[in-house]
Structures are given as structure tokens and as C-alpha cells.
Amino acid sequence: MDATRWMREALRLARKGYGRTSPNPMVGALVIRGDRVLGRGWHRGPGLPHAEVEALADARRRGHRVRGATLIVTLEPCSTWGRTPPCTDAILAAGIRRVIVGAVDPNPRHAGRGLTLLRDAGVEVHTGVLADECAALNEAFNHWIVHRRPWVIVKAAMTLDGKIATATGESQWITGPRARAHGWYLRRGSDAVLVGVETVLADDPSLLPRGRQPWRGWRVILDARARTPRDARVTSDNQADRTIVVVGPNAPPRRVDALAKRVTVWEAPLDRQTSRAGRERLDLAWLLDRLGQMEVTRLLVEGGGEVQASFLLGGLAHRVAFYYAPLVLGGADARRAVAGEGARSWDEILRLRDLRWRRLGPDLLLEARVEPPGIAAPQEIHPGMPESVSGPATNAA
């Protein structure tokens, strides 16, 4: 049996849950006998049956006997009660003979428990098939389940020289339709989208993904002085109940009270480290802890430049999605995608790894993992474009 082939099919099924399963992971499963698929399943959302149970039920609906069959699943079956019963109980009750698993449960309290339970009951268990791909599928969930903080992606669309607006704040769509569609795709897969108040004042964004599928994520506005307008889209549309405005302890009470009539308002403590310019900085670590308590597993940070810098240079970001348009704005005072005070020495520079470049129409997308400041530099740094840049990508949205 080609376990790798079947695990790739299970991964394809798991991805159908994108943007739907949080705070649960995306999981796909197959019930097979020989080279024949008896049933397919994937996790569709919190409180609904897990992928293994879906696959077993699908096989039975098709009139197949599952006793003695093999189960392929991208993540270790759960062995404890949550919103649903343990999947290990369903597997044993079905008489499955062999279970092939991609990634082990990332929760240290449960890792390997389901596998041991199945082995002790006489089930043949194999692990590690496409383990890296299966783990990467749920990197946000894996981080949240261990640290109880969201996995943070910093997203920015900019010119080739890293600018997002003129010195006067004038801006417009920088990237083309396919890049924007990919950005909406990232929103849909996130539990919360965050911007600073300057972005709200300049652009009045909705921060909602496009498409017919309902999205009940949170919109988070960093607004130390409670300057968010009461008629902004994020405070006045039909999803205002899913907007959180994060203010500081010095915000004018009258403005805070006015906002609280329309949206949720949190008062965050100030960061102890103040900027050279004397601006009030909200404590982002406190905010991530609070969001984690609300089961926000993936946070998409969209701007502006000061906000991006706070997460990136503060060591709070895990990945970046940078869109580059074939434009050059120039100007020392033009607004940058990543602003802030910047690194004061080479040791503080932020490094990216696991780079992936994609073409989206005329634009380029760079997706990469962030290494915190202070990590030792690799032996070789290649400042130019990678030799292999993928061709035009399909519209991910």
C-alpha cells in the first residue's frame, strides 16, 4: 500500500476545512481496503464530527463493511472528550485493523496518548507519514494549543521600494486583483484581523474577506486614544458586534463610552518601553494573551507601518506575507510598510527563513517564517531573487 499517496489525499480533504474549523485543527481521513477507498471525511467545524468519524460514516453510507480496514488520518486521533466523543472509541468500535497517522497531537498533555491506546487494544499503528506537511497544515493551531496565544501573520502590500503611501498619506490599490484575492483568502483563514487606528482613519476598511462563505472572525483596532470614528465601517456595519477596539488607560472616557455603545472595547496596559517619539504603545503581549483566551488561533496583522513594526521587531510575529507590486514610489518621507524605530545594530536585524516566492499576476508574493531578532545569521545570505520563482499562480480565493 502506498501510504504517502493516501496521506496526500487525506491532506487534500483536510484543506476543505480552511477557515471553518478553528479553534480545532484541519484534519482529513480515509478508510481504505487494499487500493480501494471506502470512505472519506474531513472536520467541518467545532462541535461537528471529527474527520475519522466522518470517514467511517461515509463508508457505511456507501454500504461498505469497515471491520478490518485501514484508516489514514492526518493528525493523531483524539482520545479525550471535548465537544465530541473520543475518536479512538469510534475507531475501536468500528473494528479498524490499521491506523496510519501523519502528525502527532501537538498538545503535550495528549501527545501519543491516542496512539498508545490504539496499540494497547491491538490496532496496528504507523506514524510519521508526511509528518512535516501534516504539522504545517495546522501551524496556527499547534502554536495556540501549546502557548495559548495566536499564531501571528504580518501582511503588507507595497511598492518595490517598500512604500505603502506618499508622504501626505495618499494611497490606493497597490497590488492587482489576484494579489488582493490572496489577501482576502488569508483573512478567511484567520480568526482575527488587526490594524491600527491610522489605517481606519485613512482608508475606512471593512477588514472582511470577500465571498459567500460566512466569516465570524474578529476585527481588532489598536487605538490608544479612542479615535476610531463611530461611523467607520468597522463600528457601524452589520458585523460591528465582532469588532474590538483596544484603547489605552489614557483614552478620553467620553470617546471610550461612545465606542462601547457600538463595539467591544478593551483597555490594555501600556508597554513599559516607550518609543523615542514618546508615543503611547499598547502592550501587545497582553493583547495576544487576551485573544488566545478567546480561542483566536490565527491573527492576521494588516497595518499600518508602525503596527507592522511593533509585531515584527517586537518578536511577536511568526510569518510574513509581503506583496510587491512593480512600482517605485521613492521619497525619504513616503510611508513605509514596516516603520518603527528599526534595528540599531546588525545583531537586532530581523531575518526570514523558509522563503517562498509566488507570482500573482504582475505582483510577487513572499511568504516566509520570521526569526526573532538576535538569532545568529546563516553562513550565506543571498540578497537576490531565488533562482526558481513559480509561474503565474491560480487565484487562491
Q: Position 290: which residue type? A: R
* pLDDT of amino acid 391: 36
CA atoms within a 13 Å half-sphere pointing along the CA-CB vector of 46 = 7
pLDDT average, residue stretch 289-300: 97
Pairing of strands 36-42, 28-33: antiparallel
pTM (whole model) above 0.85: yes
pLDDT tens digit sequence for 352-387: 999 999 999 999 999 999 986 655 544 333 344 443
Q: State how far the Cα of 221 lies from the Cα of 246, in Å rounded to an integer.
A: 6
* pLDDT of amino acid 107: 87
Is residue 52 annotated as part of the catalytic site, yes or no? Answer: yes
Question: Is 14 assigned a ligand-binding role in the annotation?
Answer: no
Question: Is 171 assigned a ligand-binding role in the annotation?
Answer: yes
pLDDT tens digit sequence for 45-91: 999 999 999 999 999 999 999 999 999 999 999 988 777 889 999 99
* pLDDT of amino acid 283: 96
* pLDDT of amino acid 331: 82
pLDDT grade for 322, boundaries at 50, 70 and 90: very high
* Residue 326 · residue 284 · CB < 8 Å: no
Q: Is the pLDDT of residue 393 over 50?
A: no
* pLDDT of amino acid 278: 60
* pLDDT of amino acid 212: 77
Question: Is 379 assigned a ligand-binding role in the annotation?
Answer: no
Tell which wins on pLDDT, 384 or 324. Answer: 324
The CATH code belonging to domain 3-142 is: 3.40.140.10
Q: Is the pLDDT of residue 274 over 80?
A: no
Q: Is the pLDDT of residue 396 over 50?
A: no
Q: State how far the Cα of 46 lies from the Cα of 327, in Å rounded to an integer.
A: 43
Question: Is 65 assigned a ligand-binding role in the annotation?
Answer: no
Q: Exactly one of 9, 52, 267, 341 is catalytic; which is it?
A: 52
| Site of grid cell 478620553 | 252
Question: Is 330 assigned a ligand-binding role in the annotation?
Answer: no
pLDDT average, residue stretch 245-249: 97
Q: State how far the Cα of 178 lies from the Cα of 189, in Å rounded to an integer.
A: 17
Three-state SS letters, the chain:
CCHHHHHHHHHHHHHHHCCCCCCCCCCEEEEEECCEEEEEEECCCCCCCCHHHHHHHHHHHCCCCCCCCEEEEEECCCCCCCCCCCHHHHHHHHCCCEEEEEECCCCCCCCCHHHHHHHHCCCEEECCCCHHHHHHHCHHHHHHHHHCCCEEEEEEEECCCCEEECCCCCCCCCCCHHHHHHHHHHHHCCCEEEEEHHHHHHHCCCCCCCCCCCCCCEEEEECCCCCCCCCCHHHHCCCHHHEEEEECCCCCHHHHHHHHCCCEEEECCECCCCCCCCCCCECHHHHHHHHHHCCCCEEEEEECHHHHHHHHHCCCCCEEEEEECCCCCCCCCCEECCCCCCCCCHHHCCEEEEEEEEEECCEEEEEEEEECCCCCCCCCCCCCCCCCCCCECCCCC
Question: Is 207 assigned a ligand-binding role in the annotation?
Answer: yes
* pLDDT of amino acid 379: 39
High-pLDDT (> 70) share of the chain, %: 91
| Site of grid cell 483524539 | 78
Q: Which CATH superfamily is domain 149-370 in?
A: Dihydrofolate Reductase, subunit A (3.40.430.10)
pLDDT tens digit sequence for 11-28: 999 999 999 999 999 999
* pLDDT of amino acid 214: 82
- Which of 351, 342, 341 minimizes the C-alpha distance to 374? 351
pLDDT grade for 146, boundaries at 50, 70 and 90: very high
* Domain residue limits, the chain: 3-142, 149-370
Question: Quick one: CA torsion of 61, 103, 116, 13, rounded to 10 degrees?
Answer: 0
Which residues lie below 8 Å from residue 285, measured CB to CB, with a gap of 6+? 316
- Which of 127, 129, 72, 62 minimizes the C-alpha distance to 97? 72
* pLDDT of amino acid 213: 79
* pLDDT of amino acid 294: 96
pLDDT average, residue stretch 184-209: 94
Least confident residue range of 266-270, 335-339, 358-362, 371-375: 371-375
pLDDT grade for 395, boundaries at 50, 70 and 90: very low
Q: State how far the Cα of 312 lies from the Cα of 319, in Å rounded to an integer.
A: 9
pLDDT average, residue stretch 267-295: 85
Question: Is 134 assigned a ligand-binding role in the annotation?
Answer: no
Question: Is 189 assigned a ligand-binding role in the annotation?
Answer: no
Question: Quick one: CA torsion of 230, 236, 240, 244, rounded to 10 degrees?
Answer: -20
